[in-house]
Amino acid sequence: MASYATHLSLALASAGAEVRVLSFGTIPEALVSVSNVEVISLARSDPTWLSFLGGPSVEYAVIRSLLKRVVEASGGASAEDVIHFTAPPSVVSPHRGLVVATAWNDLNLDDALRRNLTGFHFPFSVISVPATIQYHLQDRRGYSRADVVLCGTRHLTSKLDSGGRRRVRRVFHPIRLPPAGELANISNSKPEILFMSRDLGLPRKNLSLLLRAASKLVGAGNLEFSLKLVGSRDKRIAKEVSRLAFDGGLRVRTPGFLTGASRSKAFSEASIFVIPSIVEDYSYALLEAMSHGLAVVASDIPSFRDITEDGSNGALVEPTQVDSLTSALEWLIRDVGERVRAGAKSRELIAERHAYSQAGKALVELYSEARQTPLEPKRVAR
């Protein structure tokens, strides 16, 4: 969640807070020139690769050691400090200061298992199930040690708000609001449909559903559109894309995984953003698409229902039914007026809820409220 940490830091800085960021690897360029943000690199590379050697427990142990070393070297945390964990908080809990944690890793598998998944590859391979369970248990343990837990969706908020010592709050995660010059090409007579994932072949991202829907749209005729798939590719995806391009005559672009200005440009060039995930904890790509003014077609799953308003800034579709996705895309491709209206609503929702000025102010107020409210004694991680 490196992108989240960057957006969170910039939002807090915009609200006048003094921010110290402890991070791994390359320092995000967006933070370098911000006067009230200090970035401290804990290591040259992210130690998450250690999970492949000894699982999440080993990974977290290394992170805990690095964090404690930095906290102790800087004199420790004062009672006035707010320590906000954007990664799992079980790695360390300082003895003093308000400990806030952002909760992730809610893949809504209970929701997914209620659906008809015939023909769909289970979202985790057998070998990754033990690691997934470990992450879940580690994270839940960490959230129990935080004074306040922040959740980006109502679904996760209700799951974690068990009435115990922790206080769970629903928040709108911050995102950059691009200037007018970077807005999407929403009214294009030949709209481009954008799909984005770090790994295009990841089964839970459900790209195969989009490719099937695109094939049906091509077969329907009288529809002019193109498709851009952003992310790393595998042979299976390349084969399906080739079939669409050569047999169906559809223009499909696969530029690979994009970052920075290239990523922003991909949003600006598109008209419709599609995210048909079968399960998902949250999606910053969805927030980015909306901030650029794109009409959205998203899965009707718990984590997206709080972000996308069905019939307002786009459509929510059943992630196991190709006809549901096909109909939503056809609606937005054919009706330019509805597409423009939906894109404007996307931008409006981001400006009202997620823009740095709004999210930063809300977070500072939440910190202040939490500090003024008496807390129960904190259980400290050793």
The CATH number of residue 282's host domain is 3.40.50.2000
* 184 and 329 belong to one structural domain: yes
* 241 and 292 belong to one structural domain: yes
Of the pLDDT bands very low, low, confident and very high (cuts 50, 70, 90), residue 67 is: confident
Q: Mention every residue, 6+ apart, whose C-beta is less than 8 A from residue 26.
A: none
* 22 and 163 belong to one structural domain: yes
* 117 and 164 belong to one structural domain: yes
| Mean pLDDT, residues 5-26 | 87
- Residue 238 confidence (pLDDT): 76
Category of 105 on φ-ψ map: left (φ > 0), alpha (ψ -120 to 50) or beta: left
- Specify if 382 maps to a domain: no
* 166 and 188 belong to one structural domain: no
- Specify if 328 maps to a domain: yes
DSSP conformational letter for 92:
-
> Domain residues for 135?
2-174+356-372
Buried/exposed code over 240-276 (b: 16+ C-beta within 10 A; e: otherwise): bbeebeeeeebebebeeebeeeebbebbbbbbbbbbb
Helices in the chain by DSSP H: which ranges? 2-14, 29-32, 51-54, 56-73, 109-113, 129-144, 154-160, 207-220, 235-247, 260-269, 284-291, 302-305, 322-334, 336-353, 356-372
Number of domains in the chain: 2
| Residue 128 burial class via C-beta count within 10 angstroms: exposed 0-12, middle 13-18, buried 19 and up | exposed
* 132 and 199 belong to one structural domain: no
- Specify if 121 maps to a domain: yes
Better-scored residue on pLDDT, 71 or 15: 15
- Residue 246 confidence (pLDDT): 67
* 141 and 224 belong to one structural domain: no
* 147 and 239 belong to one structural domain: no
Q: Output the average pLDDT for the chain.
A: 81
Per-residue model confidence as pLDDT tens digits over 37-50: 988 777 666 666 55
List 273's β-bridge partners, or say none: 194, 296
- Residue 97 confidence (pLDDT): 74
- Residue 220 confidence (pLDDT): 80
- Residue 249: both structure tokens together: 């005559």
CA 272-274-275 angle, 5° bins:
155
Does the pLDDT value for residue 86 go beyond 90? no
Yes or no: say if 138 and 381 are a contact pair by the CB < 8 Å rule: no
* 240 and 328 belong to one structural domain: yes
Per-residue model confidence as pLDDT tens digits over 299-340: 999 889 988 999 999 999 999 999 999 999 999 999 999 999
| Mean pLDDT, residues 190-208 | 91
* 161 and 192 belong to one structural domain: no
Does the pLDDT value for residue 66 go beyond 70? yes
Of the pLDDT bands very low, low, confident and very high (cuts 50, 70, 90), residue 89 is: low
- Residue 29: both structure tokens together: 């360029």
* 265 and 361 belong to one structural domain: no
- Specify if 32 maps to a domain: yes
* 221 and 148 belong to one structural domain: no
- Residue 119 confidence (pLDDT): 42
- Specify if 297 maps to a domain: yes
- Residue 233 confidence (pLDDT): 77
Q: Which range among 40-44, 62-66, 198-202, 347-351 has the greatest average pLDDT?
A: 347-351
- Specify if 377 maps to a domain: no
Helix, strand or coil for residue 176? coil
- Residue 336: both structure tokens together: 């330019």
Q: How far is CA 228 from CA 69, 274, 283, 308, in A?
A: 45, 10, 18, 21
For a pLDDT cut of 70, what percent of the chain falls above it? Answer: 74
- Residue 71 confidence (pLDDT): 67
Name the least confident of 18-22, 160-164, 187-191, 270-274. Answer: 160-164
List 302's β-bridge partners, or say none: none
Closest by CA position to 202, among listed 116, 326, 285: 285
Name the least confident of 157-166, 201-210, 248-257. Answer: 157-166
Length of the chain: 382
Could you write out the DSSP letters of every residue in 178-234?
--GGG---TT-SSPEEEEEEEETT-GGG-HHHHHHHHHHHHHH-S---EEEEEEE--
- Specify if 56 maps to a domain: yes
- Specify if 46 maps to a domain: yes
Predicted TM-score (pTM) of this structure: 0.85
- Residue 25 confidence (pLDDT): 66
